[in-house]
């Protein structure tokens, strides 16, 4: 992007964020990040489990991650940054990067890696709104809020005109909204919250009517990705 990268937000850190949702501050998630491993799942009310790859999240960016990070343009906003491997990976490629996450443990881990991160929801006020070159929604973070349309609208507000959204999608054609809770198999179920799962065709179905255009689509190491170009006019 030709525009100057936005401030990564340390001056904005005093802005009171909305109260983070309880589930991602619950002990199972916090403990998994601190220990660097699972087991950890998202559990649906009918017992269906989605394994969460905590070990990969806590490692360095791998080849699949780098296939996405090499497409980043300008300043990078990592939405739901987790323990910060993508913040560190994008910074190593020369980008100015900010991670945001509703988990204090995730933010602390990112800071320990030398990255910049804020304890915020993507729906809170964020620094540099409308000026980010690239937004990342990786590791299932398309599910945030359980409403893909609302999430795309919010990312549209955050990116500069023509900016890039790089999203990781489910490797099958799925488009679902569910209520889930974080579960490590040992503690009583926590508070449930809305989540979404989208394959690439489903994300395209949501994105195209809103003016987003596909810029790249690929699969590597069993993971699927889609890059979308924000409309230059809204």
- Answer whether residue 172 is part of any domain: yes
Query: What pLDDT score does 18 carry?
Result: 45
Statement: residue 144 has pLDDT above 60: yes
Q: 103-135 pLDDT, tens per residue?
A: 999 999 999 999 999 999 999 999 999 999 999
Query: Does residue 123 lie within any of the structural domains?
Result: yes
Contact 40, 22 (CB under 8 A): no
Residue 189, domain member (yes or no): no
Residue 93 pLDDT class (50, 70, 90 cuts): very high
Residue 146 inside a domain? The answer is yes
- Per-residue pLDDT tens digits for 9-46: 444 433 444 444 455 555 789 989 989 999 999 999 88
Does residue 4 fall inside a structural domain?
no
Share of the chain above pLDDT 70, in %: 87
Residue 103, domain member (yes or no): yes
Range of the domain at 115: 62-178+195-229
- Per-residue pLDDT, 186: 78
Within a domain: residue 170?
yes
Residue 108: which H helix or E strand, with range?
Answer: helix 104-112
17-31, 140-154, 170-184, 205-219: least confident range: 17-31
Distance, CA of 67 to CA of 72 (rounded, Å): 10
pLDDT of residue 47: 87
> What is each CA distance from 120 to 20, 64, 69, 80, 82, in whole angstroms?
7, 26, 22, 9, 12
Omega before residue 39 within 30° of 0, cis: yes
35 is a domain residue: no
More confident residue, 19 or 200: 200
The residues facing 165 across adjacent strands are 135, 228
Distance (Å, rounded) from C-alpha 82 to C-alpha 87?
9
Where residue 99 sits, what CATH number does that domain have?
3.40.50.150
Q: Is 224 helix (H, G, I), strand (E, B) or coil?
A: strand
Whole-prediction pTM: 0.89
| Structural domain count of the chain | 1
């Amino acid at each position: 992007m030709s525009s100057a990268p936005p401030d990564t937000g340390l001056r904005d850190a005093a802005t009171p964020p909305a109260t983070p949702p309880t589930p991602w501050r619950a002990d199972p998630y916090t403990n998994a990040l601190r220990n660097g491993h699972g087991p950890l799942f998202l559990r649906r009310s009918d017992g269906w489990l989605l394994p969460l790859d905590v070990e990969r999240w806590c490692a360095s960016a791998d080849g699949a991650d780098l296939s996405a990070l090499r497409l980043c343009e300008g300043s990078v906003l990592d939405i739901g940054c987790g323990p910060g491997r993508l913040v560190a990976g994008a910074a190593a490629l020369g980008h100015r990067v900010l991670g945001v996450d509703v988990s204090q443990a995730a933010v602390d881990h990112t800071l320990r890696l030398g990255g910049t991160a804020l304890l915020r929801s993507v729906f809170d006020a964020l620094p540099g709104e409308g000026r980010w070159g690239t937004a990342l929604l990786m590791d299932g973070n398309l599910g945030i809020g359980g409403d893909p349309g609302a999430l795309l609208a919010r990312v549209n507000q955050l990116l500069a005109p023509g900016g890039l959204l790089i999203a990781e999608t489910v490797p099958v054609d799925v488009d679902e909204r569910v209520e889930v809770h974080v579960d490590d198999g040992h503690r009583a179920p926590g508070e449930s919250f809305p989540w979404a799962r989208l394959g690439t065709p489903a994300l395209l179905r949501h994105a195209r009517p809103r003016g987003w255009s596909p810029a790249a689509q690929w699969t590597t190491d069993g993971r699927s990705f889609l890059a979308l170009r924000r409309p230059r006019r809204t």
